[in-house]
Amino acid sequence: MPIHDLRVLVTEDDRLQRSIVVEMLRSLGLNAISEATNGEEALDMIRHANPPINILFCDLKMPKMDGMELLRHLGTEHFHVEVVILSAMDKKLLAVVNKVSSLYEIKLLGALEKPLSLQKLKHILSQSGNTPIAPAPKAAPQQFNFSVEEILEGIRQKQFKPFLQPKVDLQTGQVVGAEALARWLHPEHGIVSPYAFIPKLEESGQIDSLTYLMLEESASICRTLLGKNHALHIAANLSLVSLTDPLIAEKITSIVKAAGVDTKYITLEITESAAMTEAPQALENLARLYMNGFTLSIDDYGTGYSNLQQLTRIAFGELKIDQSFIHGFANNEAMLIVVAANIDMAHKLRIKSVAEGVETKEDWEMLRKMDCDIGQGYFFAKPMSTEDFYTFIDNYRNQLLEVSPTAVHHYIKTTTKTNSEFKILIVEDDEFTRNTILQILNSLGYLQTTAVKDAQSAIALFEEVQFNLIITDIFLPDINGLELIKRIRTDRTFAKPNTRIIVLSGLTQTKAVGLAMTLNVNGFLAKPLIPNVIDRKIKNVMSEPTRVQASIAYETINTDIQDILISKS
């Protein structure tokens, strides 16, 4: 839908604020703008709007019915309206709103801070599933209008080739695989993007011929790579349309087997919306593909409205967070929370998290800190021809080792340093968890490990011992873990302000995770605790140069997490 066709509703009790938003939307070319002064009025308008409202701009504090209540009504009445929060940026509040929205499967496009900026507004609108001004490349389809017959003829003549884009292990910097993206090497038009032919093929029910071609090529690339001693996973994209074909699973399996490749090297990416299908045939196909050894991946995650239950019906091995959430997310609190929640979700499902659209080093570093497993994006490489990919792989230098001389130094240093040299403090009130970590660390050879039950004991110990690393729980009986970290960061304890800190986080504590990130903690560990994950995490954390700001920068951070504590108990 073109941007000027978007139907928006601005709900804000302050007349001046409301008119500013309305004017800004007008200046961006939107025409269908309605206004409401409170939640009740807004709900009424949404209920009766025809055609429906696409985007709701909504203040949180309003008379009669506030923003939260409005969200709840939208959720329970299943309106698929996208929401933009208009509120002074209160991180805690935003985290709660985010949580509520995801519970009700409402798509939160973002929050607009005051003063409002046109650029931010534009960016937020670009996140809408209703507009094509979403980030490139989905934004910029080439202007071709091929007929299905022309496309099929091109496929018969094998003019379609996969371009490969590397997938990189964010923790180690190794290339672990590649996604095969279709390109039409058109004799006249050169390289044609998938947007010019995928939708046409899907709509006409003819996508299978391309799928088979791509799979054949992917499998043969995979075999060549294996021959060069590169055990890489190659991913191909599967359309929902194909999944309704009762024979597709067998066909895909036989194509891969015929190429002499073990199916475990092939990943099949299915978009989130396709993964939500109720069609028994599609579910059966996915189950069969899984049984045949393929890895199933949920593509474009975050753009649909799937819930955990829907996701667990299918044996996914990978969750790809949509690129619209990734690029530049480190500086956007709302996106940060969404990404944290998605990585969390993957951990919870015990599957790999993959971030698409990693465009900068900053994106990468943040994802790495947040324990995202794999990254894909222009920062590592753009999709490239098979030949270029082989050269790329042969010459690939692990960027992790090239980040900065200090990183290399630390990397080398820690790989030679023995675990027994680290002084580690564990702060955890739960006896079972505390003992588990102690035992694991002991078995890993971390011999200078101390454990305490609360923050006050930790603070007392800082006077005696300079710990290299503190692993702390968030929920502690006396001072919460975040406050403990704040005191360390603001120099109010004897611990060094740059002491490395790892937070033991629960699975859904996105708000606490967000706060911990603003306190520049060095890493997170989620339960269940797995020995080699812990070992790798500690090595990573110790090898990275810490980046802490001046103590004053942390003074104003509000570490009050009472509401999470309440919801926990």
Applying CB under 6 A, the span of 15-23, 193-201, 435-443, 458-466 interacting with ligand C2E comes to 193-201
Would you say 272 and 301 are in contact if contact means Cβ atoms under 8 Å apart? yes
Q: What is the DSSP string of 239-262?
A: -HHHHTSTTHHHHHHHHHHHTT--
Residue (84 or 355) nearer to ligand C2E, CB:
355
Selected range binding Ca ion among 230-238, 338-346, 386-394, 505-513, rule: CB under 5 A? 230-238
CA 455 – CA 477 distance, rounded (Å)? 8
Between residue 310 and residue 329, which ones bind ligand C2E under the rule CB under 6 A?
323
**Residue 136 found at the interface with ligand C2E (CB under 6 A):** yes
The Cα 396–Cα 376 span in angstroms is 15
The residue with tokens 């928006």 is 8
What are 66's two structure tokens?
A: 């506030």
Site for ligand C2E, residues 382 to 401, rule: CB under 6 A: 383
Dmax (CA) for the chain in angstroms is 78
- Taking the complex as a whole, the smallest distance from the CB of residue 317 to ligand C2E amounts, in Å, to 16
Residue in 30, 181, 282, 474 binding ligand C2E, rule: CB under 6 A: 181
**CA angle, 443 as apex, 440 and 449 as ends, to 5°?**
70
For residue 137, the partner it binds in ligand C2E, Ca ion, none, with Cβ less than 5 to 8 A by kind, is ligand C2E
CB of 375 to ligand C2E, least distance (A): 9
Nearer to Ca ion, 12 or 356 (CB): 356
Q: Pick from 87, 193, 220, 414 the residue near ligand C2E by CB under 6 A.
A: 193
Contact assessment for residue 336 and residue 313, using Cβ atoms and an 8 Å cutoff:
no
Q: What secondary structure letter does DSSP report for 329?
A: G
Is there a contact between 193 and 137 (Cβ–Cβ < 8 Å)? yes
What's the min distance (Å) between Cβ of 322 and Ca ion? 6
For residue 181, the cross-strand partners are: 163
Site residues (CB under 6 A) for ligand C2E, limited to 287-306: 299-300
Give, as ranges, the residues between 253 and 292 that touch Ca ion (CB under 5 A). 269
CA atoms of 474 and 56, how far apart (whole Å): 35
Choose between 37 and 218: whose C-beta lies nearer to ligand C2E: 218
| Cβ-count burial 115-153 (b if 16+ within 10 Å, e if not) | eeeeebbebbbbbbbbbebbbeebeeeeebebeeeebbe
- Residue number with CB closer to ligand C2E (129 or 506): 129
DSSP 417: S
CB of 151 to ligand C2E, least distance (A): 12
Task: Name the minimum Å distance from CB 207 to ligand C2E.
Answer: 6
Stretch that binds ligand C2E, among 80-88, 130-138, 342-350, 444-452 (CB under 6 A): 130-138
Q: Which positions from 313 to 352 touch Ca ion by CB under 5 A, shown as an x/- string? A: ----------------------------------------
Chosen from ligand C2E, Ca ion, none, partner binding at 383 (C-beta under 5 to 8 Å by type):
ligand C2E
Shortest distance, position 195 Cβ to ligand C2E, whole Å: 6
Nearest-angstrom CA–CA distance, 169 and 160:
29
Q: Order of strands, edge to edge, in the sheet holding 108-112?
A: 32-36, 7-11, 55-59, 82-86, 108-112
Q: What is the b/e burial string over 59-86, where b = at least 16 CB atoms within 10 angstroms of the residue's CB?
A: bbebeebbbbebbbbbbeeebebbbbbb
Nearer to ligand C2E, 196 or 336 (CB): 196
Token pair of 444, please?
A: 């890993």
On whether the CB atoms of residues 480 and 486 are closer than 8 A, the answer is: no
Q: Cα–Cα distance between 513 and 462 in angstroms, integer?
A: 24
* Closest alpha carbon to 94 in 47, 58, 129, 143: 58
CB atoms within 10 A of CB 509: 24
Cβ closer to ligand C2E: 328 or 506?
328
Part of the chain binding ligand C2E (CB under 6 A), chosen from 91-99, 190-198, 333-341, 558-566: 190-198
How many residues are there in the chain? 569
Give the total of residues touching Ca ion (CB under 5 A): 5
Do residues 470 and 457 touch, judged by C-beta distance below 8 A?
no
Decide if residue 237 touches Ca ion (CB under 5 A): yes
Residue 209 makes CB contacts below 8 A (sequence gap 6+) with 152, 155, 201
- In this chain, which of 5, 105, 150, 359 binds ligand C2E, going by CB under 6 A? 359
Q: Which residue has its beta carbon closest to Ca ion?
A: 269
Stretch that binds ligand C2E, among 11-19, 103-111, 170-178, 357-365 (CB under 6 A): 357-365
Residue of 35, 59, 272, 299 interacting with Ca ion (CB under 5 A): 299
Binding residue for Ca ion, selected from 82, 300, 473, 544, defined by CB under 5 A: 300
Looking at 165, 480, 510, 559, which residue binds ligand C2E (CB under 6 A)? 165
- Closest CB to ligand C2E among 177 and 523? 177
Residue 377 in the binding site for ligand C2E (CB under 6 A): yes
320 or 500: CB nearest Ca ion: 320
Query: Which of 45, 176, 198, 259: binder of ligand C2E (CB under 6 A)?
Result: 198
# residues near ligand C2E by CB under 6 A: 26
Contact 248, 274 (CB under 8 A): no
The residues of the shown chain that bind Ca ion, judged by CB under 5 A, are 237, 269, 299-300, 356
The residues of the shown chain that bind ligand C2E, judged by CB under 6 A, are 135-137, 165, 181-182, 193-194, 198, 207, 210, 214, 237, 239, 269, 299-300, 323, 356-359, 376-378, 383
